Amino acid sequence: MQRRNLQLFLFLATLLFMVAVIIFWYSHSASTLRASDSDFSLDRSLDIIRIEMYTNDRSDEVIMEKDEQGRWILNNYFFANEPAVQQLISSMNRLRVRQPVSFENRNQVEQMLDARGITVKFFVKAWRVHLGNFRLFPYQRAYQSFVVGENTPDGMSTYMRKSGSQMPFKVHIPALESGIAYLFEPYTREWRNPVIIDMERQHIARISVMDYNRPEQSYHLRRSDTGRFEFFDFDETSRKIDVATDSLRLERFLSSFRNVHYETLLDKEQEQLRKKLMFDEPFMEVTVQNREGLEVSFLAFARYMPESVDESATVAQRDPNRFYLQVNDGEFALAQYYVFSRILRPFSFFEN
């Protein structure tokens, strides 16, 4: 009897031990899952030096990387929109998981992420030797990688999943009453710096303005050896224009080439609209060259008011607020006159 009781006791003890081991293992695994699969945020102390966003087939791809001067470069060619990049990084600091995707919706969400998800990767600057303030051998280390999907049906969160994980989550930014999918659009036009000219007066070497509607109002404005700016004929570039000019207007003009930016680059739908609204010929061309020989040139095309080209309209009206811009024979952008009017000046503007 005592032996049977002892065997029963040992059996129960063994059973309880196994149950305890299973519970411990499951809890440990679950906590590991939560820690690794549900952490989408970035620590504020990190030095982010590279950001990648791309579709599954890489038909759309954005790569932004810091250069040695700390400027963000887009796709190894353009300057990136610094405020937009900083907004993204700041938003990443505040990301929080609202809840896991429910079991009954998980397959549908997984299919959406696999088919239409955007892969996002953040890289940080790290050091192979790091002892206190002593650091040697910097390198680029992948820190965060996840897939971003669509916003949830209620519009309050966004479906996201860590790369390599099988657990999707609803992610949001507390106090923001919307999803955050818009933060991760892998389109070059969304991340390009809209500034096309940002040149201080002392760096300007030459400005050329061609007025296509009034060719006689065209001119070259060049810096002389003494530092003064002088007007020259547009066609006979060596012939100086001797006319009394308003020095204050000239100085305001020379100081107006800072932060000259377009409103937006055109997407496919806007590009189709441009072909319908844009005047065939440009009304002005402006070229600015700095003292190192680098130059920016753009063509300005007038635009019809969208509502005035409807079939019901009798006369198409010119848009007084916006026009189309083509920079360095590249893509078209929509621009605002109030930004550019200070540099779209005919020669008569300077006459005293």
- Per-residue pLDDT tens digits for 51-76: 999 999 999 999 999 998 899 999 99
Mean pLDDT of the chain: 88
Q: How confident is the model at residue 91 (pLDDT cuts 50, 70, 90)?
A: very high
Residues 226 and 177 in one domain: no
Q: Are 122 and 135 in contact (CB under 8 A)?
A: no
**Which two structure tokens, joined as six digits, stand for 341?**
């009017």
In a domain, 261, yes or no: yes
In this structure, the answer to whether residues 178 and 213 fall within a common structural domain is no
Q: Which helix (H) or strand (E) holds 108?
A: helix 103-116
Among residues 150, 168, 193, the one where a domain terminates is 193
Residues 183 and 243 in one domain: no
* Rounded distance between C-alpha atoms, residue 144 and residue 53, angstroms: 12
In the block, tokens 């005293």 appear at: 352
Q: Verify that 93 and 205 share a domain, yes or no.
A: no
Q: How confident is the model at residue 123 (pLDDT cuts 50, 70, 90)?
A: very high
29-45 per-position pLDDT tens digit: 444 445 567 889 888 88
Domain-embedded: residue 15:
no
Asked if the structure places residue 12 within a domain, the reply is: no
Give residue 318's domain range: 196-350
Verify that 156 and 233 share a domain, yes or no.
no
Q: Do residues 247 and 335 share a domain?
A: yes
Q: Is residue 22 part of a domain?
A: no
Contacts of 241-246 with CB under 8 Å at 24 or more apart are: 241/347, 243/351, 244/351, 244/352, 245/350, 245/351, 245/352, 246/350, 246/351, 246/352
Closest by alpha carbon to 95, among 150, 173, 35? 173
Domain membership flag for residue 281: yes
* 342 found inside a domain: yes
What is the C-alpha separation between 122 and 50, in angstroms, rounded?
6
Same domain, 338 and 224: yes
Instruction: Mark residue 130 as left, alpha or beta (left: phi above 0; alpha: psi -120 to 50; beta: remaining).
Output: beta
Query: Considering its fold, how many domains does the chain have in total?
Result: 2
pLDDT at residue 46 in the model: 87
Residue whose entry in the numeric block shows the structure tokens 């892969």: 119
Write the single-letter amino acid at 143.
Answer: Y
| 115 assigned to some structural domain | yes
Last residue of a domain, one of 167, 193, 219: 193
| Residue 247 placed within a domain | yes
The radius of gyration of the chain from alpha carbons, rounded to an integer in Å, stands at: 30
> Tokens at residue 39, please?
């952490």
Q: How many CB atoms lie within 10 A of CB 184?
A: 22
25 vs 15: CA distance, rounded Å:
15
Residues 202 and 183 in one domain: no
Residues 328 and 211 in one domain: yes
Give the mean pLDDT of 173-190.
92
- How far from each other are the two terminal CA atoms of the chain, in whole angstroms? 122
Q: Are 328 and 210 in a shared domain?
A: yes
For residue 49, pLDDT over 70 is answered with yes
pLDDT for 205? 96
Q: Which of the listed residues 193, 223, 256 is the one where a domain comes to its end?
A: 193
Q: Is residue 222 located within the same domain as residue 290? A: yes
- pLDDT tens sequence across 283-304: 999 999 999 998 999 999 999 9
Residues 181 and 99 in one domain: yes
Task: Provide the strand spans (E) within the chain.
Answer: 48-55, 61-66, 72-74, 78-79, 96-100, 118-131, 134-151, 158-162, 169-172, 195-197, 204-211, 219-223, 229-232, 260-261, 264-265, 284-290, 295-301, 322-327, 332-336
The token pair that represents 217 in the structure block: 């109002």
Alpha-carbon span 303 to 334, nearest angstrom? 9
3-state secondary structure of 344: coil
